[in-house]
Structure 1
């Protein structure tokens, strides 16, 4: 069976591209990532269908639930204007689950394979940049490698290897459908992206200011490493550079991934190896939507703890003095009580009692 073109891209969830917004891109995107996996000994491939707006998963479907389900509260707003949204998309995802099973069989023939673990992925989506320019992508992968992708400008398919040429010949012949896909990516997709952004604006369009701190650690070779830690920011896009004397510095610079916090914000780090004698020349330069202006942060000598230590010692001495005073006071009070008690007892016996016989 030839690898089919798939259903026409007419619904808002027909998007896929498992990449985050690039740092500093100031764009919003909608993507879907569809995967089918055939494992040895299993009759039916595993299947998943996951949708994203920016970096937030908002809908999903898998072979276990077999339902198109919401992943965030704000997507429920779609039901007001589109009451058939969930049922329609559930049927659509179920159709792709069946078709992907056939695709895997066809691809195994193309690559002359029999059995084994294989994956087929469908990825496409669109983005709306800060300058209102638009972007779109539509591609497939087999076993983790590029298989075929759409060139929107020429309305032709780009095959990644010889087996993919089989699919390219079939899909290039349907020029009208390729035009339709381009229109979808550049118009319909963007319209739905804007609608979703409006539904989830409280979370998707918010900005959380990054916190920037530079620390240092000594290295074994007499050098030291300055570490710029940046956390608590949203959206995910962020530009971080080390500068020396105001110029971007790339030598001996290392960076971590932008990773999520439990509260929905992100954190990351950049480090640079420097000569301790020149550390004041280096600054961490950060640009982010949550900052009104870029910030440049240098390492600063921590405040001395001498004052704190002296204060603690004085406080302890005062406490000891107070406790000693209290102890002396109670001791004197007890001694006075005993003396008074003995005198009172003798007076009372003489004045009211009878003579003691001898």
Structure 2
């Protein structure tokens, strides 16, 4: 659509079209820069065709200790390429191919000073202003909910899963405990993802041997909680009642059929023992 739009109410209410026009202008500049860079990197790595990706992330973070941290990093085809050393305002090359770009960018003193001004002054000012705009939303705390489940895995193992959802802010620690001890080194996480409603969600899984008796629980730490949330895993013991229910149902069906057959023959001649629907009779056949 070739335009930049605010995605939150508190930004739309506090900023006019000038900011969005400025960011659209820089989007066009980035588009031209990416196109030129893709061509240059294709020549640098001797790539005449195929699908290639440049990714750039830059900005400033407000940490929990109220320190604002600035950053800039480029990647090419999913691998680190260049990053900015903010202390020396020089570029750090991640591989041999990036050395050529590093030397050229290090020589661009004016451009580097421009990045220094942007990251350490403009970005900090914008971040502080936008936090003030959205403080009711950004500084809220929403408690997480946690649910544990299990499923059969390979070689007779069981996979335990802990889904934690509905929390804000994003930072959270979720670990599986066995008999009260962390098993973080053998757990797998999908990462922290947006839920679509302004909160976040995550999953943490772990494989266990169900034959080894132990107490497992999902341990959640989040700044909205006065104390950590702990949800125990209870082994699934529902198989035995289900099997017993099936057996009882089969017996009842047999009894009902027997009664129906017996009553059907009541009006006629009284049956002898040979016609009784008992052992060996037709009603016992599946």
TM-score by length of 1: 0.57
CA contact (8 A) 1:150 1:158 kept: yes
Q: Quote how far apart the aligned CAs of 1:210 are.
A: 0.8
Map of 2:62 onto structure 1: 128
What is the correspondence of 1:88-107 to structure 2 with a 5 Å cutoff?
A: 88-107=22-41
Report 1 or 2 for greater relative contact order, CA contacts < 8 Å, sequence distance ≥ 6: 1
Distance 1:299 1:119, change over 3 A: closer
CA contact (8 A) 1:141 1:147 kept: yes
C-alpha deviations, 1:286-342, integer Å up to 9, x for none?
10122122122223589x9x9xxxxxxxxxxxxxxxxxxxxxxxxxxxxxxxxxxxx
CA distance in 1, matches of 2:152, 2:95: 50
Q: Quote how far apart the aligned CAs of 1:251 are.
A: 6.0
Map of 1:72 onto structure 2: 8
C-alpha deviations, 1:115-149, integer Å up to 9, x for none?
44333332211111101223222122233332222
Instruction: Count residues with an aligned counterpart.
Output: 238
Q: Quote how far apart the aligned CAs of 1:157 are.
A: 0.9
CA contact (8 A) 2:179 2:214 kept: no
Map of 1:317 onto structure 2: none
CA distance in 2, matches of 1:72, 1:253: 35
Map of 2:230 onto structure 1: 296
* Alignment RMSD (CA, Å): 3.1
Q: Quote how far apart the aligned CAs of 1:211 are.
A: 1.0
Distance 1:269 1:153, change over 3 A: same
Map of 1:151 onto structure 2: 85
- SS class of match (1:278): coil
Q: Quote how far apart the aligned CAs of 1:88 are.
A: 2.1
Map of 1:278 onto structure 2: 213
Structure 1 runs not aligned, ≥5 long: 1-64, 307-358
Greater Rg by CA: 1
Distance 1:213 1:153, change over 3 A: same
Distance 1:98 1:221, change over 3 A: closer
**1:260 is the counterpart of 2:221:** no
Distance 1:204 1:176, change over 3 A: same
What is the correspondence of 1:174-193 to structure 2 with a 5 Å cutoff?
A: 174-193=108-127
Structure 2 runs not aligned, ≥5 long: 242-286
CA distance in 2, matches of 1:224, 1:174: 57
**1:137 is the counterpart of 2:71:** yes
CA distance in 2, matches of 1:251, 1:129: 26
CA contact (8 A) 2:55 2:75 kept: yes
Q: Quote how far apart the aligned CAs of 1:242 are.
A: 1.5
CA distance in 1, matches of 2:73, 2:32: 19
CA distance in 2, matches of 1:298, 1:186: 46
**1:228 is the counterpart of 2:166:** no
What is the correspondence of 1:191-340 to structure 2 with a 5 Å cutoff?
A: 191-217=125-151, 224-250=158-184, 252-272=186-206, 273-275=208-210, 278-280=213-215, 282-300=216-234
CA contact (8 A) 1:66 1:94 kept: no
Distance 1:97 1:209, change over 3 A: same
CA distance in 1, matches of 2:192, 2:56: 25
